[in-house]
Structure 1
Amino acid sequence: MNHIEKKPLSQLGYQFIDNTWLPEGKTEYYLRDQQRGKETVHRKLKAWEIETLVRNDNTSDDWNNIFVDNEFDPNLVQHCHFYGMIRIGKLEPYFLEFHNLRLPVGLYNSTIASCDFGDNVVVHNVNFLSHYIIGNEVIIANVNEMGVTDHAKFGNGIVKEGEPESVRIWMELCNENGGRSVMPFDGMLPGDAWLWTRSRQDQALMDQFKSFTEKQFDKKRGYYGMVGDRTVIKNCKIIKDVTIGTDAYLKGANKIKNVTINSEAGAPSQIGEGCELVNGIVGLGCRVFYGVKAVRFVMASHSQLKYGARLINSYLGNNATISCCEVLNSLIFPAHEQHHNNSFLCAALVMGQSNMAAGATIGSNHNSRGADGEIIAGRGFWPGLCVSLKHNSKFASFALISKGNYMSELRVPFPFSLVVNDEHENMLKIMPGYFFLHNMYALARNSWKYVDRDKRTDKTQPIEYDYLAPDSVEEILESLELMEIAVAKAYYRKQDKNIEKLSKNTIRQTGRNLLLEENAKVSRMEILGENIENSQRKVQLLKVHKSYPLFRELITLHAIRNLIKNATAFNISSFSALQAYCKNVKRSAWHNAGGQLIKAETLEDLKNRIRKGKIGSWPQLHDAYREIGASYEQDKLQHALACLLQLHDISPKELTKQQLKKFLEQSVFTFGTLTEGIYHSREKDYRNPFRQMTYENEAEMEAVVGKLEDNSFIQQTINDLKTYKKQVKEMIKKWEL
Structure 2
Amino acid sequence: MTKYRKLNRTEIERLTAQECMADNWNQVHVAEGFSPAYIAHTRFSGEVYLGRFEQEIELPGGLRKHAGLRHVTLHNCTIGNNTLIENIPNYVANYQIGDYCYIQNVNLLLTEGESCFGNNTEVSVLNETGGREVPIYNRLSAQLAYIVAMYRHRPDLIGRLGQMIADYARSVKSTRGTIGNGVHIVNTGTIRNVCIGDACRIEGASRLDNGTINSCTEAPVYIGANVTAEDFIISSGACVSDGVVLSRCFIGQACHLTHLFSAHDSLFFSNCQGENGEACAIFAGPYTVTMHKSSLLIAGMFSFLNAGSGSNQSNHMYKLGPIHQGVVERGSKTTSDSYMLWPAKIGAFSLIMGRHVTHPDTSGMPFSYLIEHGNRSYLVPGANLKSVGTIRDAQKWPKRDRRTDPDKLDCINFNLLSPYTIQKMLQGIDTLQGLKQTSGETSECYSFQSTTIKNSSLEKGINLYTLAVHKFMGNSIIKRLEGTPFADLDDLHSRLQPTDPLGEGEWIDLAGLIIPKQAMQEEIERIVHQSDYTLEAAEAFFRTLHHRYYDMEWTWVCSKMQRWYGKSIDQLTPQDIIGIVRQWNEAVVSLDRMLYDDARKEFSMISRIGFGVDGSASQRDFDFEQVRGEFESDPFVKMVCRHIEEKTALGDELLERLNRLIDKTTDE
Worse-matched range after superposition: 287-296 or 682-691: 682-691
Deviation at 1:117, TM superposition (A): 1.2
Q: Which amino acid aligns with 1:209?
A: L
Contact residue 292 and residue 309 of structure 1 kept, 8 A: yes
Is the alpha carbon distance of 1:155 and 1:644 closer, same or farther for their aligned partners in structure 2, counting shifts above 3 Å?
same
Q: Where in structure 2 are the equivalents of 1:89-238 lying within 5 Å?
A: 89-92=51-54, 94-98=56-60, 102-126=64-88, 127-157=90-120, 169-218=121-170, 222-238=174-190
**1:501 maps to which residue?**
none
Deviation at 1:650, TM superposition (A): 3.0
Give SS of 1:558's match: helix
Deviation at 1:487, TM superposition (A): 1.6
Question: Cα RMSD (Å) of the superposition?
Answer: 2.4
Q: Where in structure 2 are the equivalents of 1:243-282 lying within 5 Å?
A: 243-282=195-234
Deviation at 1:665, TM superposition (A): 1.6
Give SS of 1:693's match: coil
Q: Where in structure 2 are the equivalents of 1:73-84 lying within 5 Å?
A: 73-84=35-46
Q: Distance in 2 between matches of 1:111 and 1:483?
A: 73
Q: Distance in 1 between matches of 2:60 and 2:480?
A: 49
**1:639 maps to which residue?**
556
Give SS of 2:608's match: helix
Give SS of 2:87's match: strand
Deviation at 1:332, TM superposition (A): 1.3
Question: Which among 468, 472, 496 is matched to residue 558 of structure 1?
Answer: 472
Contact residue 271 and residue 288 of structure 1 kept, 8 A: yes
Worse-matched range after superposition: 223-232 or 392-401: 223-232
Give SS of 2:440's match: helix
**1:655 maps to which residue?**
572
Q: Distance in 2 between matches of 1:390 and 1:541?
A: 26
Deviation at 1:642, TM superposition (A): 3.1
Q: Distance in 1 between matches of 2:593 and 2:293?
A: 36
Give SS of 1:295's match: strand
**1:432 maps to which residue?**
381
For residues 134-185 of structure 1, what are the alpha-carbon distances to aligned partners after superposition, in whole Å with 9 as ceiling and x for unaligned? 111101010000111231111101xxxxxxxxxxx31111212211112111
**1:528 maps to which residue?**
446
Question: Which among 579, 583, 588 is matched to residue 671 of structure 1?
Answer: 588
Q: Distance in 2 between matches of 1:553 and 1:243?
A: 53
Normalised by the size of structure 1, how large is the TM-score? 0.83
Q: Which amino acid aligns with 2:379?
A: I
Deviation at 1:219, TM superposition (A): 5.5
Q: Distance in 1 between matches of 2:251 and 2:488?
A: 47
Deviation at 1:614, TM superposition (A): 6.2
For residues 608-653 of structure 1, what are the alpha-carbon distances to aligned partners after superposition, in whole Å with 9 as ceiling and x for unaligned? 1111126611111001112212221111122234334412333334
Contact residue 490 and residue 526 of structure 1 kept, 8 A: no
Question: Which among 590, 594, 617 is matched to residue 534 of structure 2?
Answer: 617
1:66 aligns with 2:28: yes
**2:423 maps to which residue?**
474
Contact residue 243 and residue 259 of structure 2 kept, 8 A: yes
1:409 aligns with 2:359: yes
Q: Distance in 2 between matches of 1:242 and 1:78?
A: 27
Is the alpha carbon distance of 1:220 and 1:294 closer, same or farther for their aligned partners in structure 2, counting shifts above 3 Å?
closer
Q: Distance in 2 between matches of 1:131 and 1:106?
A: 19
For residues 686-732 of structure 1, what are the alpha-carbon distances to aligned partners after superposition, in whole Å with 9 as ceiling and x for unaligned? 23334343345344334434554554444444434333222222211
Worse-matched range after superposition: 186-195 or 558-567: 558-567
Question: Which among 382, 389, 407 is matched to residue 442 of structure 1?
Answer: 389
Question: Which among 637, 652, 667 is matched to residue 729 of structure 1?
Answer: 652
Q: Distance in 1 between matches of 2:133 and 2:154?
A: 14
**2:310 maps to which residue?**
359
Deviation at 1:289, TM superposition (A): 0.9
Give SS of 2:144's match: helix
Is the alpha carbon distance of 1:65 and 1:372 closer, same or farther for their aligned partners in structure 2, counting shifts above 3 Å?
same
Q: Where in structure 2 are the equivalents of 1:251-650 lying within 5 Å?
A: 251-350=203-302, 352-366=303-317, 368-402=319-353, 404-412=354-362, 413-423=364-374, 426-437=375-386, 439=387, 441-456=388-403, 457-459=406-408, 461-491=410-440, 525-533=443-451, 538-540=452-454, 542-567=456-481, 576-577=490-491, 579=493, 587-613=504-530, 616-650=533-567
Q: Which runs of 5+ in 2 are unaligned?
A: 613-618, 663-668
Deviation at 1:54, TM superposition (A): 1.1
For residues 491-519 of structure 1, what are the alpha-carbon distances to aligned partners after superposition, in whole Å with 9 as ceiling and x for unaligned? 26x5xxxxxxxxxxxxxxxxxxxxxxxxx
Deviation at 1:319, TM superposition (A): 0.7
For residues 369-428 of structure 1, what are the alpha-carbon distances to aligned partners after superposition, in whole Å with 9 as ceiling and x for unaligned? 2322110111112121111111110011011011x22222111131111111111xx532
Give SS of 1:109's match: strand
**1:162 maps to which residue?**
none
Give SS of 1:268's match: coil
Contact residue 116 and residue 170 of structure 2 kept, 8 A: no
Deviation at 1:541, TM superposition (A): 5.6
Deviation at 1:343, TM superposition (A): 0.8
Contact residue 611 and residue 623 of structure 2 kept, 8 A: no
Q: Which amino acid aligns with 2:361?
A: R
Q: Distance in 1 between matches of 2:547 and 2:609?
A: 49
Q: Which amino acid aligns with 1:276?
A: T
Contact residue 596 and residue 640 of structure 2 kept, 8 A: no
Percent identical pairs in the alignment equals: 21
Q: Which runs of 5+ in 1 are unaligned?
A: 1-37, 158-168, 495-524
Q: Which amino acid aligns with 2:605?
A: N
Is the alpha carbon distance of 1:570 and 1:287 closer, same or farther for their aligned partners in structure 2, counting shifts above 3 Å?
farther
Q: Which amino acid aligns with 1:595?
A: G
Normalised by the size of structure 2, how large is the TM-score? 0.91
Q: Where in structure 2 are the equivalents of 1:2-81 lying within 5 Å?
A: 38=1, 40-81=2-43
Give SS of 1:233's match: strand
Is the alpha carbon distance of 1:349 and 1:297 closer, same or farther for their aligned partners in structure 2, counting shifts above 3 Å?
same
